[in-house]
Amino acid sequence: MTRAARLCAIDAVGPCDGPIVARLRQELIAAGVVAEDIGVAERSPYGQRAVRVRLAQNGTMDAGWAARQLAPLPWIRAVIAVPPSLYLRLSSDVMRDWARVGDRPEPVLPWRRATLMHADMNAVSSGPLDVLRQVCTAKAIAALLRAGGCTVTSTETVVDTSNAFSAHSKVTLQLQDAVGMWTETVIAIAGVDLPRGSLRARHGGMLQFRDLLYELDRLGGNNAYGLALTSFLMLLCPRESRLKLDAAKLASGTAAYVALTALVRIKPYCEDPRAAGGHDADMSDLLLALDAMPNAVRRALVDLEPSYIVRHMRSIVFAANGHLGPGDPLRHDLSRTLTEGFDRLAIDTRASAVAGLSTVY
C-alpha cells in the first residue's frame, strides 16, 4: 500500500455502515449482545451473504449464549455461532423496512485538497493501452477522493508513448490536510498484457486504444457505451496487477458492463410495496449486497483502489438476477446504488457516441 493510502487508512473518518447494518447495531445493543465489529460477509456458512457479528474479545461475551439470545427475535431467520463470530440471516421483509428509512453515509477524509498528475488524453489515442489504463484509474481515484470531501485538481502531463517502459504507468498524488500540510506520493498502475490468442494475432501483438474500440464494435457495443465501456474494462483488476486482456476477458467484461447499465436504467412500471417478492434467501442476499456498497466505497477510498467497487457491483448483478418483479420498490434502490458506483468510478453510463466506437478517438 502506498504512503498516501496508509495515511487514508489511519485518518479516514465517518461511518461506512449501510442502513441495514446501522440499524442492526442498535438492535444488538437492545438484545444485550456486545459486538466488536459488524459487517456483511460475502461468504458464510449459509452459502450466500450473511451479516457477520464479531463479538467482543474481552471474555464477557460467549458466542453460544449470544446465539441463544438472538434466535427467538422476530427479525432473525437463522443464526450460526462460529466463535468468536455469529452469522445472522435476517428477514428480507425487515431488511426492506430498515433500508427504506435508513441513510447511506458517505466516507469523509481529513484531506481538503488533492492534485493528480497523469498522462494527457493525446497520449491515450496514440499510445499503448498502458496509458489508457493509467488515465482511467487516475480519473476514478479523483472521483473517489471527491466522494470523500476533497477538492480535486487533475493535471495532464505529456508523455513519450514511443517507449513502452516510460514513466506513464504512474500517477502522482498530492494531498493537503486541514492545516495546509501537503503529502506527495506516487500511485503505481500496472500495464496491460495481451496473452497469445486471436485478439493479439489480429493486431500484431500491439493493441492501441482505437484497436480496442474496433473490437468493441465487433462485440456489438457501438453507439451506446463508448469511452465509458473502455474505462470499465481498464478497472477490472487491482491497479497494481497487470491486466491480462484477451478475447474472453473482453467479452466477459463487456457483458458485465451491459448487465450493469441495464440495471441502472430499470424503472418500476408502477411502484407498489405489495409487489415486493422473490425467495427470502435470494432477496436477503441482494439486500445485503446493496447495503454493503458504502463499505466497498470506503475500502476503495482507503486503498485508492477503484477495482473494489467494480468487483462489488458485479456481485450485485449476480444477486439481482431475476429476483425483482416489475413493481418492486427495490428496483429504484438497485438503480441508485449502481449509479452511485459508476459515479465513484468516473464512468458516465449516459454517454453515447453519434458514430460507431471505432471512429471515436
**pLDDT per residue over 204-260, tens digit each?**
777 778 788 777 776 554 444 667 888 899 999 999 999 998 888 888 888 898 889
Q: Give the range among 87-101, 112-126, 185-199, 287-301 with minimum mean pLDDT.
A: 112-126
- Alpha carbons 311 and 44: distance in angstroms, whole number: 18
Q: What pLDDT does 354 receive?
A: 34
The answer to whether residues 23 and 99 touch, using CB atoms and an 8 Å cutoff, is no
Q: Give the range among 29-38, 71-80, 167-176 with minimum mean pLDDT.
A: 167-176
Q: What pLDDT does 94 receive?
A: 93
Percent of the chain with pLDDT over 90: 32
Q: What pLDDT does 160 receive?
A: 62
Q: What pLDDT does 226 receive?
A: 64
Q: Shortest CA distance to 47 belongs to which of 26, 78, 3?
A: 78
Q: What does the pLDDT average to over 274-289?
A: 75
Backbone φ, ψ for residue 37 (5° rounding)? -155, 145
Q: What pLDDT does 108 receive?
A: 72
Q: Shortest CA distance to 115 belongs to which of 187, 188, 168, 11?
A: 187
Whether the pLDDT of residue 9 is over 60: the answer is: no
The answer to whether residues 8 and 109 touch, using CB atoms and an 8 Å cutoff, is yes
- Alpha carbons 7 and 5: distance in angstroms, whole number: 5
- Alpha carbons 236 and 193: distance in angstroms, whole number: 13
Q: Residue with C-alpha cell 503505481?
A: 188
CB atoms within 10 A of CB 92: 22
Q: Give the range among 34-43, 144-153, 212-221, 333-342 with minimum mean pLDDT.
A: 212-221
69 alpha carbon, distance to own chain's centre: 35
Q: Shortest CA distance to 134 belongs to which of 186, 211, 175?
A: 186
Q: Which residue has the higher pLDDT, 211 or 335?
A: 335
- Residues facing 170 on adjacent strands: 188
**Summary mean pLDDT of the chain:** 80
Q: What is the dihedral of CA 259, 263, 269, 270, to 10 degrees?
A: 150
Q: What pLDDT does 155 receive?
A: 83
Find out whether the peptide bond into 84 is cis, omega within 30 degrees of 0. yes
Q: Which residue has the higher pLDDT, 172 or 226?
A: 172
- Alpha carbons 136 and 115: distance in angstroms, whole number: 16
Whether the pLDDT of residue 162 is over 70: the answer is: no
- Alpha carbons 312 and 294: distance in angstroms, whole number: 11
- Alpha carbons 23 and 101: distance in angstroms, whole number: 10
Q: Which residue has the higher pLDDT, 350 or 292?
A: 292
